């Protein structure tokens, strides 16, 4: 099968004090092991990773050196993390495969994702990024760089940026070609580099694309057989952390939509994952899975995880 697996940026950073490159590589090795098992089983795999913590580090570095070097634009930060995280995952997955006697190549594609400059998100920036700053500092940035900002949880002020809807994966044909030639691909890291179409090519724009929606779109555009979101929990739940908590096993897309409308899934956490899965299922009539990294292989065999299927009930 052709499988797109989306993993969070926090998969590489489990503890706030374990953020060095060495720490992240160790975690990348742990993250890669279940993906290596899928490859061992003969599946063709594309990995999409988050980059929230890592982009935050880059922005903080940039803010701290702003007296000498102009602030990094967001498209630059996403491209930078695609390279660095992709390198870690390539390295880790290559090790994991060699342990299994597999010599396939792993490649990272610096991936652009088209958005519309007319997306309503640009009129209402809501995605917090970067460091917590004092009111005086954030107001100076707002004045000089036209930043939007919010007061965040009593901890200080943070910049907010648009999070537009992804429209197209620019490098989708390259990704498909690599898969067809039996390479393992890491793509659309951090939701992809946000770009808008111009008369001649594309131009980066200050925004952040949701990784789950971008990976769902990629899975649709490359005609994946299965879309997997690897997250912190084995299942999606209704009544999460309540006495009547219930793990969801197999759910049809329409029923999952009802659960969404009833507010069972946390905004900014499980909600976008559910929406991304429904988007894939409805566009392809193929299934989507939500589970934790250690259970991916079992979930594909129907022994774990939440599987979302079309109304026809199609399975991988």
Active site residues: 9-10, 127, 211, 273
| DSSP helix/strand/coil, 282 | helix
Q: Would you report the helix, strand and coil content of the chain in percent, each value rounded to 5?
A: 40, 20, 35
Could you tell me the CA-to-CA distances from 305 to 74, 184, 278, 291, 292 in Å, in that order? 34, 24, 15, 5, 8
Measured CA to CA, the distance from residue 2 to residue 200 in angstroms comes to 33
Going by the DSSP 8-state scheme, the letter that residue 127 receives in this structure is E
| DSSP helix/strand/coil, 32 | helix
Measured CA to CA, the distance from residue 33 to residue 97 in angstroms comes to 8
Say if residues 250 and 307 touch (Cβ distance below 8 Å). Answer: yes
Measured CA to CA, the distance from residue 54 to residue 128 in angstroms comes to 14
Say if residues 218 and 172 touch (Cβ distance below 8 Å). Answer: yes
Q: How far is CA 133 from the centre of its chain?
A: 26
The region that residue 130 occupies, defined by phi over 0 for left and psi between -120 and 50 for alpha, beta otherwise, is left
Measured CA to CA, the distance from residue 182 to residue 174 in angstroms comes to 13
Going by the DSSP 8-state scheme, the letter that residue 264 receives in this structure is -
Say if residues 293 and 31 touch (Cβ distance below 8 Å). Answer: yes
């Amino acid at each position: 099968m052709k499988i797109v697996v989306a993993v969070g940026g926090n998969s590489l950073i489990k503890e706030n004090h374990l953020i060095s490159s060495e720490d992240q590589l160790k975690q990348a090795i742990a993250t890669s092991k279940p993906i290596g098992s899928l490859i061992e089983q003969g599946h063709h795999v594309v990995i999409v990773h988050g980059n929230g913590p890592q982009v935050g580090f880059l922005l903080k570095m940039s803010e701290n050196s702003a007296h000498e070097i102009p602030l990094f634009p967001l498209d630059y930060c996403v491209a930078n993390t695609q390279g660095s995280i992709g390198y870690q995952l390539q390295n880790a997955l290559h090790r994991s495969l060699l342990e299994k006697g597999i010599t396939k190549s792993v490649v990272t594609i610096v991936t652009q994702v088209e958005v519309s400059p007319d997306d309503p998100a640009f009129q209402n920036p809501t995605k917090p990024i970067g460091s917590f700053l004092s009111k005086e500092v954030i107001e100076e940035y707002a004045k000089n760089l036209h930043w939007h900002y919010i007061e965040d949880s009593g901890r200080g002020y943070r910049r907010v940026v648009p999070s537009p809807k992804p429209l197209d994966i620019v490098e989708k044909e390259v990704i498909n070609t690599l898969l067809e030639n039996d390479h393992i691909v890491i793509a659309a890291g951090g939701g992809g580099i946000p770009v808008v179409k111009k008369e001649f090519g594309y131009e980066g724009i200050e925004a952040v694309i949701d990784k789950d929606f971008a990976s769902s779109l990629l899975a649709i555009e490359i005609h994946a057989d299965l879309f997997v979101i690897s997250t912190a929990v084995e299942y999606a739940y209704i009544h999460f952390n309540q006495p009547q908590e219930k793990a969801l096993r197999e759910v049809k897309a329409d029923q999952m939509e009802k659960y969404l409308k009833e507010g069972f899934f946390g905004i900014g956490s499980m909600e976008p994952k559910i929406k991304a899965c429904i988007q894939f299922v409805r566009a392809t009539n193929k299934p989507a899975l939500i589970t934790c990294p250690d259970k991916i292989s079992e979930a594909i065999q129907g022994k774990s995880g939440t599987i979302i299927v079309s109304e026809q009930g199609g399975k991988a």
